[in-house]
A and B are shown apart, each in its own frame.
Chain A
Amino acid sequence: MDDEDIEKAVLAYLRKKGLKLTELSLQEEQNRLSTDASHSRSQNVADSYFDGYSRLRSWAYNSLDSYKHELLRVLYPVFIHCFMDLVAQGYMQEARTFFHTFREDHELMHLRDLQKLEGILSPSHLEEMELARFSRQNKVKIRLCEYSYGLLLQFIHKTKSFDMLGVINQHINFEVTPGQPTSISDDSEAVSLIGASQDLAREINQKELHWGLLEDSVEERMEKTLSDLDKTEVEGNKEGDPEENNKVKKTDGNKQGTSVSNKKKKDKAVGATGKSTRSETSMVSVAPRVKSELTLPQLPPEVELSILEDLRNRAQLNSLALPSVSFYTFLHTHNGLNCSAISHDGSLVAGGFSDSSVKVWDMAKIGQPGRASNSQGENGSMQGMHSLASDETKRPYSLLQGHSGPVYSVSFSPFADFLLSSSSDNTIRLWSTRLNANLVCYKGHNFPVWDAQFSPVGHYFATASHDRTARVWSMERIQPLRVMAGHLSDVDCVQWHPNCNYIVTGSSDKTVRLWDVQSGECARLFIGHRSMVLSLAISPDGRFMASGDEDGTIIMWDLSTGRSVSPIMGHNSCVWTLAFSCEGTLLASGSADCMVKLWDVTSSMKALKTDESKSGPTSRLRLLKALPTKSTPVYNLRFSRRNLLFAAGALSAGS
Chain B
Amino acid sequence: MSIVPKETIEVIAQSIGIPNLSPDVALALAPDVEYRLREIIQEAIKCMRHSKRTVLTADDMDSALNLRNIEPIYGFASGDPLKFKRAIGHKDLFYLDDREVDFKEVIDAPLPKAPLDTAVVTHWLAIEGVQPAIPENPPIEAIVAPQDGKKMDHGKDDSLPVDLKLPIKHVLSRELQLYFDKIGELILLRPETALFKEALLSLAKDSGLHPLVPYFSYFIADEVSRNLSNLSILFALMRVLKSLLSNPHIHIEPYLHQMMPSIITCLVAKRVGEQVSDNHWAIRNFAAKLVSSICRRYGHVYHNLQSRLTRTLIHAFLDPSKALTQHYGAIRGLSALGPSVVRLLILPNLETYMQLLDPEMQLDKQKNELKRKEAWRVYGSLLLAAGSCLYDRLRLFPGLLSPPDIQPWKTNKKIALTHLPNNKRKASSTLNSHQPPTKKLAVDPTGANSQFPSTDGPATSSSCGSNPNHHHSHNSSNNNSSSAGNITNTNTNINNATGSGALAQRMAGSAVLRQAWKEDMDAGHLLSSLHSLFGEGVFSFIQPADMHLFI
Enumerate chain A interface residues (CB-CB to B < 8 A): 64-66, 150-151, 154, 180, 321-339, 349, 351, 353-354, 359, 361, 363, 366-368, 371-372, 395-397, 406, 408, 424, 447-448, 450, 466, 490, 492, 508, 532, 534, 550, 572-574, 576, 592-593, 596, 598, 624-625, 627-630, 633, 635, 647, 650, 654-655
Contacts and interface: CB of A to CB of B under 8 A. Distances in A.
Nearest to B136: A630
Given A323-B128, A406-B51, 11 more contacts: A324-B126, A324-B129, A325-B124, A338-B51, A366-B119, A550-B49, A574-B52, A627-B125, A628-B143, A630-B137, A633-B52
Given A65-B42, A151-B35, A325-B126, A361 B120 contact: yes
A592 B52 contact: yes
B79 A335 contact: yes
Contacts of A180: 161
B49 A532 contact: yes
B481 interface: no
Nearest to A332: B116
Interface in B56-106: 57, 59, 63, 66-67, 79, 81
Contacts of A448: 50, 63, 67
24 contacts: A65-B42, A154-B31, A323-B128, A324-B127, A326-B124, A328-B120, A332-B119, A349-B120, A354-B59, A371-B122, A396-B119, A397-B120, A408-B50, A408-B51, A448-B67, A490-B46, A534-B49, A572-B151, A624-B129, A628-B143, A629-B137, A630-B138, A633-B54, A635-B52
A329 B123 contact: yes
Interface of B: 1, 31, 35, 38-39, 42, 46-47, 49-55, 57, 59, 63, 66-67, 79, 81, 115-131, 136-138, 143, 150-151, 154, 161
Contacts of B54: 573-574, 592, 633, 655
Q: Which has the most chain A C-beta neighbours within 10 Å: B51, B57, B67, B117?
A: B51
A66 B52 CA distance: 20
Contacts of A66: 42
A321 B128 contact: yes
Nearest to B45: A532
Contacts of A351: 118, 120
A393 B440 CA distance: 58
Contacts of A329: 120-123, 136
A331 B121 contact: yes
Contacts of B120: 328-331, 349, 351, 361, 363, 366, 397
A359 B39 CA distance: 33
B116 to A, nearest CB: 4
Contacts of B151: 572
B52 A627 contact: no
B128 A324 contact: yes
B49 A332 contact: no
A624 B130 CA distance: 11
A250 B137 CA distance: 57
Given A326-B122, A327-B125, A335 B53 contact: yes
A328 B126 contact: no
A143 B120 CA distance: 50
Given A151-B35, A322-B129, A328 B122 contact: yes
Closest 4 pairs (CB-CB, A-B): A322-B129, A327-B125, A325-B125, A332-B116
Nearest to B1: A150
A95 B124 CA distance: 68
Contacts of B66: 424
A372 B122 contact: yes
Nearest to B137: A630
Contact of B49 (A371, A395, A447, A492): A492
A605 to B, nearest CB: 20
B38 A64 contact: yes
A359 B150 contact: no
A157 to B, nearest CB: 10
A427 to B, nearest CB: 15
Contacts of A353: 118
Contacts of B161: 180
Given A329-B122, A329-B136, A331-B119, A322 B49 contact: no
A323 B124 contact: no
Contact of B122 (A334, A368, A395, A397): A368
Q: Which has the most chain B C-beta neighbours within 10 Å: A335, A532, A625?
A: A335
A326 B132 CA distance: 11
A359 B119 CA distance: 10
Contacts of B119: 330-332, 366, 396
Contacts of A338: 50-52
Nearest to A372: B122
B115 A334 contact: yes
B115 A323 contact: no
Nearest to A366: B120
Given A593-B150, A654-B81, A332 B125 contact: no
Given A450-B50, A492-B50, A574-B54, A328 B121 contact: yes
Q: Which has the most chain A C-beta neighbours within 10 Å: B47, B53, B122, B151?
A: B122
A534 B49 CA distance: 8
A448 B137 CA distance: 36
A367 B119 CA distance: 10
Nearest to A333: B118
Contacts of B31: 150, 154
Contacts of B129: 321-324, 598, 624-625
A625 B126 CA distance: 10
B39 A395 contact: no
Contact of B125 (A326, A406, A624): A326
Contact of B67 (A325, A366, A447): A447
A572 B49 contact: no
Q: Which has the most chain A C-beta neighbours within 10 Å: B47, B52, B55?
A: B52
Nearest to A147: B38
A596 B445 CA distance: 73
A367 B38 CA distance: 47
A627 B118 contact: no
A361 B120 CA distance: 8
A573 B118 CA distance: 25
Contacts of A337: 52, 118
B126 A322 contact: yes
Contacts of B57: 335
A68 B121 CA distance: 44
Contact of A331 (B50, B59, B118): B118
Nearest to B142: A628
A652 B128 CA distance: 26
A592 B150 CA distance: 12
A576 B49 CA distance: 9
Contacts of A550: 49
B545 to A, nearest CB: 46
Contacts of A325: 124-126
B122 A363 contact: yes
Nearest to A338: B51
Nearest to A336: B118
A336 B57 CA distance: 12
Contacts of A447: 67
A526 to B, nearest CB: 19
B50 A327 contact: no
Contacts of B50: 338, 408, 448, 450, 492
Contacts of A323: 126, 128-129
A539 B131 CA distance: 26
Contacts of A335: 53, 57, 79
Contacts of B46: 466, 490, 492, 508, 532
A571 B63 CA distance: 28
A606 B162 CA distance: 42
Q: Which has the most chain A C-beta neighbours within 10 Å: B49, B57, B131?
A: B49
A395 B119 CA distance: 10
Nearest to B161: A180
B88 to A, nearest CB: 27
Contact of A332 (B117, B127, B136): B117
Contacts of B131: 627
Contacts of B55: 655
